[in-house]
Structure 1
Amino acid sequence: MNPFETLVQNFRDLVAEVPELVQPFVVMLAGAIPFIEGEGASPIGVVGGIHPVAAGVAAAAGNFLCVLVVVLISSRARAAALAHGHRPSSREERPESKGRQRFRRYLVRFGVPGASMLGPLAIPTQFTAAMLIASGTSRSWVLLWQAIAIVFWTTLTTTLVWGVVSSVVA
């Protein structure tokens, strides 16, 4: 057994200690964590021995549910701020991070669909969704494109990791 197979088998033994019905919920919770998200949680599930479809669906669902909560909270916060007469300023007082600068370029160049699809390359989907809402984009448009992006990236990473694990681990 090569070191990669040993590592995967040890991880699968650890995952096997969790009841089988609970395993997808663990992946779903991991998918809700920024920076792990669906594209990080589904490989965890696949390497852990969960069926790739179950891991992908659970990871994407956890990621989307978290984005949904962020969108609902952000849209209410924006509406309250606008109702109290606060208008977004054209310049922020502190410099933007490189990830936010990259996201802003994506938004200007590609619109909401492009920012949603390319956003995970720069910042977590939860941050992307909040920034889109703050910019005045409608909730439904943000949720639609975030769902498409989450499904795309989660499917891509799930498929790649499943292919690698299947070819390396017998």
Structure 2
Amino acid sequence: MIDSLQEFAGNFPDWLQWAGVLLVSAIPFVESYFGSVIGVAIGLHPVVAIVVAVIGNVISMLAFVYGAGAIRDKATKNKQVEEKPKRQRLKRMFDKFGVPGVSLLGQTLLPSQITSSAMVGFGANRNVVAFWQVISIILWGALFGVLATLGIELALR
């Protein structure tokens, strides 16, 4: 899948390849971390690759957060919400680590779009979730972008 996405982004004209990286970074499970790797791998400057990957991921995540918030508001109006067994693990993590912890660590388990939607579904403040998710997206994108750059430089030696 990553090869296909890399080919997709790489097939854009050179001056527009950043847009391909932005688009693929909006896809859950690709996100800023694989988006920045794809950008570096197709030859974008690492800073450009990381920035556009972060922007693509943030746009997608914000759509999920505020969309989930609107759905939750309608679904829970005058009702009590029951938790499904599949969400209980994430809920335990949420209860233990809070919004910052789930935002920063949740990327290792699930995409930011899913974890952020779940946290909003649990009743977390949308703006707080969005804030911490943006921080997490930036950190993960930068980490993977730097690792990709170092890996490519090492491979070229």
User: Do they superpose with TM above 0.5?
Assistant: yes
Q: Which residue in the other structure is 2:53 paired with?
A: 59
For residues 96 and 134 of structure 1, the distance between their equivalents in structure 2, rounded to whole angstroms, comes to 13
Tell me the matched-pair count. Answer: 151
Q: Which residue in the other structure is 2:135 paired with?
A: 148
1:69 to 41, 47, 63: 63
Please list every run of at least 4 consecutive aligned residues from structure 1 whose deviation after the TM superposition is greater than 4 angstroms.
none
Query: Structure 1, unaligned stretches of length 5 or more?
Result: 1-10
1:36 aligns with 2:26: no
Q: How many angstroms does 1:37 deviate by?
A: 0.6
What TM-score, normalized by structure 1, do the two folds share? 0.82
The 8 Å contact of residues 106 and 118 in structure 1, kept in 2 or not, is answered as no
1:166 to 142, 153, 156: 153
1:96 to 86, 89, 97: 86
1:108 to 87, 92, 95: 95
Q: How many angstroms does 1:149 deviate by?
A: 0.3
Q: The residue matched to 1:22 in structure 2 has which SS? A: helix
Whichever of the two has the greater Rg, that structure is 1
For residues 108 and 26 of structure 2, the distance between their equivalents in structure 1, rounded to whole angstroms, comes to 17
For residues 105 and 169 of structure 1, the distance between their equivalents in structure 2, rounded to whole angstroms, comes to 45
Q: Deviations over 1:39-97 (max 9, x none)?
A: 011101101111100100011100000011011111111111122x33211x42xx417
1:12-51 matches, cutoff 5 A: 15=10, 17-51=11-45
Q: Give me the identity figure in percent.
A: 32
What TM-score, normalized by structure 2, do the two folds share? 0.89
Query: CA RMSD for the aligned pairs?
Result: 1.9
Q: How many angstroms does 1:34 deviate by?
A: 0.5
The 8 Å contact of residues 81 and 87 in structure 1, kept in 2 or not, is answered as no
Give the aligned residue type for 2:45. H
